[in-house]
Chains A and B, each alone.
Chain A
Amino acid sequence: MSYSAINQIYNQYKNTYDEMYAENGTIRKNYRKFSKLLKKLSIEDLNSMSEFSRDFFMNQGVTFTVYDDDQGVEKIFPFDIIPRIIDYVEWKKIENGIKQRLKALNLFIKDIYHEQFFLKDKMIPAELIVSNPNYLRIMRGLNVPKDIYTHIAGIDLIRNESGNFYVLEDNLRTPSGVSYMLENREITRRLYPKFIPKNKVLPINNYPTLLYNQLKSLSGKKKPVIVLLTPGLYNSAYYEHTALARLMGVELVEGNDLVSENNYVFMKTAGGLKIVDIIYRRVDDDFLDPLNFNSASVLGVAGIMDSYRNGNVIIVNAPGSGIADDKAVYTYVPDMISYYLNEKPILENIKTFKLSNEDEKEYVKKNIEKLVIKRTDGSGGYGMLIGKDASEKEIENFIKKIKKEPEMYIAQPTLNLSTSPCLINDKLRPRCVDLRPFAIYGSNGIKVCPGGLTRTALKEGSLVVNSSQGGGSKDTWVINS
């Protein structure tokens, strides 16, 4: 007889918060109903559900391309069938915290491209802004529609051993993953057919409608022409671009489909050139306009920035927003919240040491085995040193690099990311997770989609959840428990 998957031994990590199990091994309140369902399922059941989800993603074409020796291989993003469940009360705090943060970040971006009060009041060293590659001079003094810069944001949160959520990173440029959030729900509603409606898991499927309406609200036109600009088929997030275009009913365009003339942007259609009003771009600032930025770019549209500056096209997110999600600027977000909003941060930052500060640098050197050092312009888990795993030689080399440009580095305590049970090799095993909720900022205010994308590390003990480094994901349910 096959036995229930949940009755097997579950070896929790030390000094780590588990999303489902309390320290004494009892099931947390938010997972109680779901655990009753799990009790009825055997490992064989879970394995076949897992197989069904793999086939589902493959047949739907929910894939990303990995390049190996120029040979593109399409893979599915590893998906774990056990949902991550968040209690509604806890979620409300996250939601409010994200709204507060985005409000402050937008005011900050507007400020530094206009009056620069934040600099004048010495809230942040000026060189951190003006010498930052993400600071775009072309945006100085430009008024953007409705004063909104970061229309689409993905805020990375982690829960440490204390059980509290912290903000790890603000992704304000072209955050990806929202299509996986939607697809994950598409599959879990099939895997757990009665559970989701019965327990009123907060719905997320209106995200495309919400996004469309918020984009539309930026334009004065009744029926603005909205397009989604993709770098093309070879981009690893191409699936997401096709999905969002399809779900919103907007045209998916590549740089070559657009042309900028007389300070207007047109798309080349079978019926001739047609004016474009709003561009939701998934192309980085640097590649957006070969005339104004990187001249070697073939992904963007020559002259698009001139149309933008003339107010004839709206670019989402606004160019130059990257100045606010830089890892060095991150440390100042709590100050922004009190400076612009006169409020206390609802969601806290992770304690961060700036290596440009002598005292903090000394502390980092002495306590390196407890810390992670990151380059401020690094992302995707690259360009970092995990103190406890690094050899003396590696540490020595890294310190040399820091000496050359200390302002490019920060250090944070090694995080004990919370774990969530994952189905791995015929057993439920704890794996580290983070959470990326998605927020949309339009003229109707900020909306945060309940839940978000839970990313999971697949290797035992690993803290790296990034999909580019082999991480997976699972669905996230917000439930009133």
Chain B
Amino acid sequence: MLSRVANNLFWMDRYMERSYGLLNLIKANYNASLDSAATSSWQGIINSYLGSDEVNINYDESISIIDFIIFDTNNNNTLINMITNARENARSVQEHISREIWLSINKYFLDISNDDFYKSFRKKDPIEFINGLIQYHHIYYSVADVTQERGNAYCFMNLGKYLERILQSIDFLNVKVNSLKKADNDLMESYFWKNLLVSIGGYQLYVKTYKSIFNIDNIIEMISINEFFPRSIKFSVNKLNTHIYRLEKFNKPESNNLNFLTGKLKNDLKYTNIESINKKGIKKFVDEIQLQLNEISNEINRVYFYQNNL
């Protein structure tokens, strides 16, 4: 497989995963705004997803903010621009992805860039509308699962997907969990931590595992090292490791450093529990993972995406 193609596949899934995360976040935040204006700041989302500098909007007006996050074509990180990028990547690798993946991502792009679709936004309940968008992602994931052959392309797509997912979980721990500690008074308000968990898709599992009792350690444990939660760092690192291992078998690169790096991260997490995280401090724990990820990401670039001449 061409290095350029591998890179485009990686970014196709990275954009899809990132926009999926963004949609879940704005849905949870809008939901929270229905309970209490104080706890549903849009500033955080704008900061971590869109870069806040040039944004000049009224933060009290949820609908305009959602409109901006989804449809503004001037900011590179809005949903519409990420979907356009994902689709451009797909367009250039059509002979490597299943026809069904192409059709599903092209349909998403055509719909979201259609004027009538945009007009329907203001007429609908925002959660219904966002659910409609999220549905495109669910179709995309399912279609990829049932139609894409498990070769190079599938692995590069998954590298993009899981790397992005880990970064989102890290961001969640860094920003959200840190802010939790400051806002002790609000914590017992059930809607607050409920919305928080909903935004990362972990509310159901949390209640099943820890019952309806809020405890910050439980949240940290679930997001970092729960083996069965598909958005936990541990789960995603294990997946990353699987695909890196497969890629090494397919492409036989000169060094096995990449496999070594992800294997190491995987094992570090294997022997981590909530006590050891607390002992180390959440910030240091997260920083160390971030550092290892940077190394892995550079190595993926070096080994697979940029080939030197003879």
Contact = CB atoms under 8 A, between A and B. Distances in A.
A270 B309 contact: no
Given A259-B309, A269-B1, A58 B110 contact: yes
A273 B2 CA distance: 9
B148 interface: no
Contact of A252 (B95, B152, B310): B95
B103 A269 contact: no
A251 B103 CA distance: 20
A266 B310 CA distance: 10
Interface stretch (A92-100, A242-250, A426-434): A242-250
Contacts of A266: 310
A270 B6 contact: yes
A365 interface: no
A242 B94 contact: yes
Interface residues of A, number: 28
Contacts of B1: 269-271
A272 B6 CA distance: 12
Nearest to B306: A268
A268 B252 contact: no
Interface string A43-56: 00000000000000
A273 B307 contact: yes
A257 B305 CA distance: 11
Interface string B204-239: 000000000000000000000000000000000000
Nearest to B252: A271
Contact of A61 (B2, B102, B307, B310): B102
B48 to A, nearest CB: 30
Contacts of A267: 2
A5 to B, nearest CB: 29
A251 B247 CA distance: 19
A268 B3 contact: yes
A251 B3 contact: no
Contact of A233 (B92, B95, B156): B92
A60 B107 CA distance: 9
Nearest to B109: A61
Which range contains the number of B residues in contact with the other chain? Answer: 20 to 34
B4 interface: yes
A242 B95 contact: yes
B95 A254 contact: no
B276 interface: no
Nearest to B94: A242
A269 B2 contact: yes
B309 to A, nearest CB: 5
B110 A59 contact: yes
Nearest to A259: B309
B271 interface: no
Contact of B309 (A253, A254, A257, A261): A261
A256 interface: yes
B102 A257 contact: no
A279 to B, nearest CB: 14
A269 B110 contact: no
Interface in B87-112: 88, 91-92, 94-95, 102-103, 106-107, 110
A270 B247 contact: yes
Q: Label chain A's interface by main secondary structure.
A: mixed
Nearest to A247: B95
Given A58-B110, A60-B103, A233-B88, A271 B253 contact: yes
Contacts of A268: 2-4, 307
A269 B3 contact: yes
Contacts of A233: 88, 91-92
Contacts of A256: 4
B106 A61 contact: yes
Given A242-B95, A270-B304, A271-B251, A251 B2 contact: yes
Contacts of A273: 307, 309-310
Contacts of A61: 91, 94, 102, 106
A131 interface: no
B152 A270 contact: yes
Nearest to A58: B110
Interface string B240-269: 000000010011110000000000000000
Contact of B4 (A58, A254, A272): A254
Contacts of A245: 94-95
A262 interface: yes
Contacts of A252: 92, 94-95
Contact of B95 (A60, A251, A261, A270): A251
Given A59-B103, A271-B250, A249 B95 contact: yes
A246 B94 contact: yes
A246 B91 CA distance: 11
Given A245-B95, A273-B310, A59 B88 contact: no
Contacts of A269: 1-3, 251, 307
A59 B106 contact: yes
A262 B309 CA distance: 11
Contacts of A59: 103, 106-107, 110
Contacts of A262: 310
A242 B156 CA distance: 20
Nearest to B103: A59
Interface in A203-262: 233, 242-243, 245-246, 249-254, 256-257, 259, 261-262
Contacts of B110: 58-59
Contacts of B92: 233, 242, 252
A17 B4 CA distance: 51
A246 B101 CA distance: 14
A268 B305 CA distance: 9
Interface string B117-161: 000000000000000000000000000000000001000100000
Nearest to B93: A252
A302 B71 CA distance: 42
B253 A246 contact: no
Nearest to B156: A270
Contacts of B252: 271
A275 to B, nearest CB: 11
A253 B106 contact: no
Contacts of B310: 261-262, 266, 273
Contact of A253 (B2, B88, B152, B304): B2
Q: A-B pairs with the 8 shortest C-beta distances?
A: A271-B251, A268-B307, A246-B95, A270-B304, A270-B6, A242-B94, A245-B95, A268-B3
17 contacts: A59-B106, A59-B107, A61-B102, A233-B88, A242-B94, A250-B95, A252-B94, A261-B310, A268-B4, A268-B307, A269-B2, A269-B3, A270-B1, A270-B304, A270-B305, A271-B1, A273-B309
Given A257-B2, A270-B247, A272-B307, 17 more contacts: A58-B110, A59-B106, A59-B110, A60-B106, A61-B94, A251-B95, A254-B4, A256-B4, A269-B1, A269-B2, A269-B3, A269-B251, A270-B6, A270-B305, A271-B253, A273-B307, A273-B310
